[in-house]
Amino acid sequence: MCGIYLSISSSGYVSPNSGTRQFLHNRGPDSSREHKVVVGPPAPFEVISYQPLYITFISTVLSLRGSNIVPQPLIDEASQSVLCWNGEAWKLHNVEVAGNDSQGVFQLFLKASAGEAVTGELSAHKRILNAISSISGPFAFVFYDAPNARLYYGRDCLGRRSLLQKTDSTGELILSSICDNNLGDQWSEVEADGVYFVELFPPTNAGSQNILIAKQEYFNVTRAYAHNCEGGDSATHLRMPFPQFNKALPDSIPPALSLSSPSVDQLHQALRKSLELRVRNVRLSFEVGLEGTSQNDSKIAILFSGGLDCTVLARLVHDILPIEECVDLLNVAFQNPRVHRSLENANEMHPSPYELCPDRITGRASYGELQKACPGRTWRFVEINIPYSETMTHRDTVVSLMHPHNTEMDLSISYALYFASKGVGLVHSPSDDRPHNYSTSAHVLISGLGADELFGGYQRHATSFSRRGYPGLTTELELDINRLGKRNLGRDDRVISNWSKEARFPYLDEGLLAWALNRPVWEKCGFGACSSSIDSGHPTGNIEPGKKVLRLLAWKLGMTKVAEERKRAIQFGARTAKMETGKTKGTQILS
């Protein structure tokens, strides 16, 4: 996990304000470096008149891979090209990356940009786009191609890492992973629709001697992702790592999914492969320090509501990690004055408001089922209890972190992720029933985000099927996948990473996505399926249709209660919804 900041201006260096700089440091406490350059047009270019550009690069690093910290920005001494990288390249050209990935990505970009004067502009673009298309994993980046005075920036096609931008009429372009908007600045998310390319010194007429970022005509931007099957020109398109959504319709009523259905085993294999990339060879952050660590320090924590998606991930993590490694289950619950009595009134007659939260109830139940299904594993169930007063103390920080998202629903979801990812709460020792304070040492957080969109877990999916059948269901699912980056992922990345934590999303692995999007909808969920006599007599025949393939996998893994758990949105499970008033709607803009 890293923090990226870049500014380009013709009037001087532009540095982040103190709040933004602190947010960047929070994302990457292991290393922080600033690099400034003044640039003019490259020698072969004929620009009639120009002003120099002042470029500021800042990168902060949370180092979780390899044996040493690799400071950023990465600078090539020979060419003076620069890379700011925030991501995890699990594979390059389908080959797994061992150790630190940023150096491998930088070498890939340097090789792709070389030889521009000989081979021409189109070839360089093609090589850069091919290089980006070869990366498997979540990322946001800024790459300055110094010899050719070009800037590339963007996010992966799902938008799993945050990148914001701000432009103004003076010709400044600012990119940042995060912003402190207490000055009222209006940032926007860089769309996860391709790589953005800026020609810093395009041939111009006199009087327009420099790039004015705010004016679209000075952008020379490539920003389209194309599916492999579309036959898009690789010089102007990035290849999508998965196929288009399969919208096939059944010829007749499809058979019901069962434990013996091929898709259950296929999902098991794909999900395990995804998790192996994300939980193996993780080391403690350098921020934790080597002194004072012990075998009981957790390297992996799971954002744990006790629901289907996260509990299946926890169960599979058990099959992957050595048995002696502890795994933390981060379960957050809030005091909501609209729902709960005050904390001071909690007693035997009036239980703690935290224990009344739906996610605390399901979390404890699923924790118990994990203990039975995974003997020998130490699971730490971390009770993260947030009083209303603490929520309000952090409100302004959360609002800044989630910006430019600004609705009541964004805030309620962000509250839950913000405090859960901090990982500070109570645990019960096996030898002592009294809880003690605990702060997770894990900097890698596993999230179940994406399962609902892939396998039809939301109520609106059931509603779409009831109203318009399979055509309505497939349309709704495709829409959800396409807007993940815009609605969820950038916001979640900004909120979670403020505690020097990195969220990883196994359900959004490129390989798993390719499998899931290629399967017809009836092999993933059970809407409209015909139950056979065998299924009707088996307990799994009564499992609800939403995410049925995942529910069957949970059953197969010995998690029968989890398989039957109903979907509950995080803001209702943790009780962060409508904390200040019960009359607001989720879409209401924050005041």
Please give the positions annotated as active site: 2
Q: Are 97 and 89 in contact (CB under 8 A)?
A: yes
Token pair in block for residue 113: 């940009």
- How many angstroms separate the CA atoms of 571 and 514, rounded? 30
* CA–CA distance, 241 with 236 (Å, rounded to integer): 16
Side chain identity at residue 379, one-letter code: W
Cα dist. 212→49, 89, 207, 410 in Å?
14, 33, 12, 33
Count CA within 13 A, CB hemisphere, residue 414: 31
Tokens of 265: 């085993």
Q: Are 148 and 113 in contact (CB under 8 A)?
A: yes
| 590: exposed, middle or buried (Cβ count in 10 Å: 0-12, 13-18, 19+) | middle
Residue holding tokens 């996948």? Answer: 481
3-class DSSP assignment, residue 549: helix
CA distances from 412 to 351, 537, 569, 578 (A): 23, 41, 11, 7
β pairing state of 188-189 and 31-39: unpaired
- The secondary element (H helix, E strand) that includes residue 311 is helix 308-320
3-state secondary structure of 296: coil
Q: What is the 3-state secondary structure (H, E, C) of 467-536?
A: HHHHHHHHHHHHHHHHCHHHHHHHHHHHHHHHHCCEEECHHHCHHHHHHHHHCCHHHCCCCCCECCHHHH
